Every structure is written in structure tokens, then in C-alpha cells.
Amino acid sequence: MRVTGKLVPLEERVARDGFAVVPGVVSEHEIADLQARLDQSGLPRSRAGLRHVMRNLGVAALARDARLMALAQAVLGPTAVPFRATLFDKSPTSNWLVVWHQDTALPLGERQEVPGWGPWSIKDGVHYAHAPASALQQVLALRLHLDDSVADNGPLRVLPGTHTHGVLHDDALHELSTRIPAVDCLVARGGILAMRPLVVHASSKSKSNAPRRVLHIEYARSLALVEDLELAVA
């Protein structure tokens, strides 16, 4: 978006809307190399893709690449650190829809009963807790598109500005979805969608034979979001 002929900085777009698209960040060659590393990773695959892929050396290196770090630091500040990565792999043989929601569960090094955190769960041996807004406001996701995300292959849809409403219950999510026009986040291969976890988002089933693979990397201002709780690198 341009205002008075000038590009609006990433941090301003994310602060206003809860998301921003940055095209052409990663090259075709780098994406092909990354996909090969993921295909050979040996990580357990679910219907939707791969969880905890920061364990893959190629993903961990990309998450700390200067280009991605610069995007994360523009929003979170100079101490930004990557802590979790997930591969979403939507295709004709693995297709799903996601209702309007926020991303509120964070991976943690150990379970500690801290007010405002919970309920707790364990996924692939990692402790997770639903976090309060004060912690989630310190997190940013960078979604690297390994394929073109287009209107008919189930792109992410967002409700702009909803990241400022705190953690919402189902009734509030539904009310916002009826009142705020949704935006389809169409991103070309190699581009990145930066988004706050609290921005309300969803996706439809793909109607295309084209795959829609997205590497979702999350960054935090610090691994120690609050006293007694530290994020797990997953």
C-alpha cells in the first residue's frame, strides 16, 4: 500500500492491519533446495504437513537468514528470535478448511502453572499452553510461500485490525467475521506474509490442482516472554 506516493513501512502495516505481504524475499533456487531438505527430513508428517520443523537444519538456517531476521526485527525489535516452524501442505489429496480463529498456543520448555496461561497440552513431546494477549503481542509469524497462493487454492483470509482485540471467544470471532470484510492474502512463490498471531484468520478448501505449501516461521521478542516460562525452540 502507498500513502502520498511512499511505501508504508512493514512495521506500520503490521501495527495497523495485523499483517503485511512482502513479495520476492526468497529465490526460486533457495525454495527448491529447502523443499528437497524438507522432503528428506524424516520428520513425521500429518495430513496438514509437518510440525516442529525448526529441527531441520535448512529451516533453522533460513529462519536466521538476514532477510527474514530484518523483517522480524522491524516489528519486534533487535532481540527478535525464531522459535517455531510449521509446514502447511494443502493439495488436492490433502485438503481442508480452517474456520475463523487466532493462534494462541505456544510451545514451552516446561510446564509451569502461571496465571493466564492454559489449558496445557503436549504435542510430539513438546509442552503447549494457550497464552494471554500480553505474550502473543510479542510474537510475529513470517509465512514463506513455497507455491503461489492464489484465489482458488485456499489462501489465508484475514480480518484486518482484529489483532488489537485481545484473545477472543468463539462468539466474538463470529461477530467480527460478519462485520469486517475479509482480505484474501494472495502471495507469489518466494514472498512472505508477516502476521500477528492474534489477527483473526481462516482458510477455505482448495479448488485447484495446484499445491499451496507455506513454511510458517514464528519469532518472539525474547524466548523468555514472562518470568518462569520460556519458549521451546520447535
Are the C-beta atoms of residues 220 and 189 closer than 8 Å to each other? no
Nearest to 48 by CA among 168, 201, 154: 154
pLDDT reading at 179 higher than 70: yes
pTM (2 decimals)? 0.94
Classify residue 86: in a domain, yes or no: yes
pLDDT reading at 3 higher than 90: no
Classify residue 228: in a domain, yes or no: no
Which residues in 59-96 are b (16+ Cβ under 10 Å) and which e? beebbeeeebbebbbbbbeeebbbbbbbbbbbbeeebe
* H or E stretch at 105: strand 105-108
Classify residue 214: in a domain, yes or no: no
Question: For the chain, what is the mean pLDDT?
Answer: 93
| Number of domains present in the structure of the chain | 1
Q: What is the pLDDT of residues 24-56, one digit of tens each?
A: 999 999 999 999 999 888 777 776 789 999 999
Classify residue 81: in a domain, yes or no: yes
Where helices occur in the chain by DSSP H, the ranges are 10-17, 28-39, 57-63, 66-76, 133-136, 170-179
Rg of the chain in Å (alpha carbons): 17
pLDDT of residue 1: 38
Q: What is the pLDDT of residues 221-234, one digit of tens each?
A: 999 988 889 999 99
pLDDT reading at 208 higher than 90: no
How does residue 2 score in pLDDT terms, banded at 50, 70 and 90?
very low
Classify residue 226: in a domain, yes or no: no
Classify residue 233: in a domain, yes or no: no
Q: What share of the chain is helix, strand, coil (3-state, %, to 5)?
A: 25, 30, 45
pLDDT of residue 6: 53
Classify residue 38: in a domain, yes or no: yes
* Structural domain harbouring 142: 2-103+135-202
| Mean pLDDT lowest among 63-67, 151-155, 169-173, 219-223 | 151-155
Q: What is the pLDDT of residues 82-137, one digit of tens each?
A: 999 999 998 777 777 899 999 999 999 999 999 999 999 999 999 999 999 999 99
**Separation between Cα atoms, residue 184 and residue 74, nearest integer Å:** 24
Classify residue 167: in a domain, yes or no: yes
CATH code at position 147: 2.60.120.620
